Amino acid sequence: MATARLFLLLLLLSASCSAWEISIRMPTADRLEAEVVAPLIHALRPLLGSGGQLAARAGVACDSWRLGVEAHNVINWKTVPAKCEGYVGHYLLGGHYRRDSAVVVDEAIAYAETLQLAGNGKEVWIFDIDETSLSNLPYYAKHGFGVTPYNDTSFREYVAEGSAPALPETRRLYRRLLEIGVKPVFLTGRTEDQRAVTVANLRKQGYSGWEKLLLKPAVHGAAGGLHAPAVAYKSGQRQKLKDSGFIIVGNIGDQWSDILGEPEGARTFKLPDPLYYIG
């Protein structure tokens, strides 16, 4: 009986399997609204976007792989498993990604609101940029959702457009911290030559009033690109902040390399990212 139901379910849903590509759009509302997360692909999500049953039958449990990534068990991966392209696409473009991000940010705000601040302007919160403050989903939706190897040239071209939307949950945290009196510091793998477009993009997306925007020295190509080693660089920058008298009360990023390595910050938050891994 259960099997019959499942087959009917599969039958109903498989009809719309080919339709998801035409519904690529990033919900932009600050709060997650039911209508925002109900695009064409909605009906697929319970099966492909989260259950991963179809993926499991194809030999890759995409939801389990994603959990492995988020819990830092699956590391040093180069690309998303080919069979998980559809899964990752559905996850990111449906409401699931937004819902997962909302829980992280709710937790971060609840924590921030408990802080006893000295009020001397030295308390900062570290924000990563890509897939944290800004979302590159419009790029990755056109480039196989992490299934194809990272292309520094085309990604830089995309960044140069300055068109990346905000991740609305992160912007909500950012604004709440400003209200509370914690100063945001951006710490990114983007390079100095991308400063102007990054500033413009952040401002356009509603970010303002940051304390610092720390970019890497302007080195073009792979060595200075998205996939250059990050743990040492980012923890080194945080150490410099600490040495300058700043107190890092919080730190949020989509990569474990954003939040590992002393000084991590008093508390760290890992946003979901099943698109790429930076070690």
Taking CB under 8 A as the rule, does residue 270 contact a copy of itself? yes
Among 17, 24, 36, 43, binds a copy of itself (CB under 8 A): 43
Taking CB under 8 A as the rule, does residue 269 contact a copy of itself? yes
Smallest separation (angstroms) from a copy of itself to the CB of 49:
7
Smallest separation (angstroms) from a copy of itself to the CB of 100:
5
Taking CB under 8 A as the rule, does residue 68 contact a copy of itself? yes
Between 82 and 121, how does the x/- string for binding to a copy of itself read (CB under 8 A)?
-------------xx--xx-xxx--xx-------------
> Are 49 and 87 contacting, i.e. CB atoms less than 8 angstroms apart?
yes
Site stretch for a copy of itself (CB under 8 A), options 62-70, 134-142, 227-235, 237-245: 62-70
Render the chain in DSSP notation, one character per residue.
Answer: -HHHHHHHHHHHHHTTGGGGGGG------SS--TTTT-SGGGGGIIIIIII-HHHHHTT--HHHHHHHHHTT-S-S--S--GGGHHHHHHHHHSHHHHHHHHHHHHHHHHHHTT-----SS-EEEEE--BTTTB--HHHHHHTGGGTSPP-HHHHHHHHHHT-PPB-HHHHHHHHHHHHHTPEEEEEEEEEGGGHHHHHHHHHHTT----SEEEEE----SGGGSTTS--HHHHHHHHHHHHHTT-EEEEEEESSHHHH-SSS--SSEEE----S----
Taking CB under 8 A as the rule, does residue 249 contact a copy of itself? no
Taking CB under 8 A as the rule, does residue 22 contact a copy of itself? no
Taking CB under 8 A as the rule, does residue 79 contact a copy of itself? no
Please give the residues from 200 up to 219 whose contact with a copy of itself meets the rule CB under 8 A.
none
Site stretch for a copy of itself (CB under 8 A), options 55-63, 142-150, 226-234, 238-246: 55-63
Taking CB under 8 A as the rule, does residue 239 contact a copy of itself? no
**Residues in the chain, total:** 279
Smallest separation (angstroms) from a copy of itself to the CB of 115:
15
Among 20, 26, 27, 47, binds a copy of itself (CB under 8 A): 47
Taking CB under 8 A as the rule, does residue 272 contact a copy of itself? yes
Buried b / exposed e over 173-184, threshold 16 CB at 10 Å, is: bbbebbeeebbb
Interacting residue ranges for a copy of itself, rule: CB under 8 A: 2-3, 5-6, 8-9, 12-13, 16, 38, 40, 42-43, 45-47, 49-53, 56, 61, 63-65, 67-68, 70-74, 95-96, 99-100, 102-104, 107-108, 268-270, 272
